[in-house]
Amino acid sequence: MACLQATYIPGLGKGGTERALIEAVRIRAARRGSWLGRIFMEHAVTWSRAPGCDC
Protein backbone atom coordinates (compact mmCIF):
# COMPACT_ATOMS: atom_id res chain seq x y z
CA MET A 1 0.00 0.00 0.00
CA ALA A 2 1.14 3.53 -0.74
CA CYS A 3 -0.30 7.03 -0.49
CA LEU A 4 0.68 10.64 -1.03
CA GLN A 5 -0.75 14.13 -0.94
CA ALA A 6 -0.67 16.31 -4.07
CA THR A 7 -1.64 19.98 -3.86
CA TYR A 8 -2.00 22.24 -6.89
CA ILE A 9 -0.72 25.75 -6.17
CA PRO A 10 -1.20 28.77 -8.43
CA GLY A 11 2.23 30.21 -9.15
CA LEU A 12 3.33 33.82 -9.25
CA GLY A 13 6.05 33.23 -11.83
CA LYS A 14 5.87 31.82 -15.36
CA GLY A 15 2.62 33.63 -16.10
CA GLY A 16 0.74 32.15 -13.15
CA THR A 17 1.42 28.54 -14.12
CA GLU A 18 0.21 26.09 -11.48
CA ARG A 19 2.69 24.00 -9.56
CA ALA A 20 2.13 20.67 -7.89
CA LEU A 21 3.43 20.01 -4.40
CA ILE A 22 3.86 16.30 -3.72
CA GLU A 23 4.34 15.46 -0.05
CA ALA A 24 3.51 12.98 2.69
CA VAL A 25 4.59 10.01 0.56
CA ARG A 26 4.14 6.78 2.47
CA ILE A 27 5.08 3.24 1.43
CA ARG A 28 4.18 0.24 3.57
CA ALA A 29 7.31 -1.03 5.34
CA ALA A 30 6.99 -4.50 3.79
CA ARG A 31 7.07 -2.94 0.28
CA ARG A 32 10.09 -0.68 0.79
CA GLY A 33 13.10 -1.58 -1.31
CA SER A 34 10.91 -3.04 -4.07
CA TRP A 35 11.06 0.04 -6.38
CA LEU A 36 7.42 0.74 -5.53
CA GLY A 37 8.32 4.20 -4.16
CA ARG A 38 10.17 5.17 -7.33
CA ILE A 39 7.37 3.94 -9.59
CA PHE A 40 4.80 5.69 -7.39
CA MET A 41 6.69 9.01 -7.59
CA GLU A 42 7.08 8.72 -11.37
CA HIS A 43 3.31 8.29 -11.66
CA ALA A 44 2.70 11.19 -9.27
CA VAL A 45 4.78 13.49 -11.48
CA THR A 46 2.85 12.30 -14.55
CA TRP A 47 -0.49 12.92 -12.77
CA SER A 48 0.70 16.35 -11.68
CA ARG A 49 1.55 17.36 -15.22
CA ALA A 50 -1.83 16.25 -16.61
CA PRO A 51 -3.75 19.40 -15.55
CA GLY A 52 -1.02 21.58 -17.05
CA CYS A 53 1.29 22.07 -14.10
CA ASP A 54 4.88 23.11 -14.67
CA CYS A 55 6.75 20.74 -12.39
Residue 33: band (very low, low, confident or very high) from pLDDT cuts 50, 70, 90: confident
Tell me the HSE value of 5 on the side-chain side, using a 13 A CA sphere: 4
On whether residue 54 sits in a domain, the answer given is: no
**Cα(26)–Cα(5) distance, integer angstroms:** 9
Residue 55 domain-assigned (yes or no): no
Task: Express each pLDDT in 8-25 by its tens digit.
Answer: 888 787 777 788 888 988
- The pTM of this model reads 0.65
Range of the domain at 7: 2-49
Q: State the DSSP string of 16-43.
A: G-EEEEEEEEEE-GGGTTTTHHHHHHHH
Residue 27 lies inside a defined structural domain of this protein: yes
Q: Does a structural domain hold residue 30?
A: yes
Number of domains observed in the structure of the chain: 1
Q: Read off the DSSP letter of residue 44.
A: H
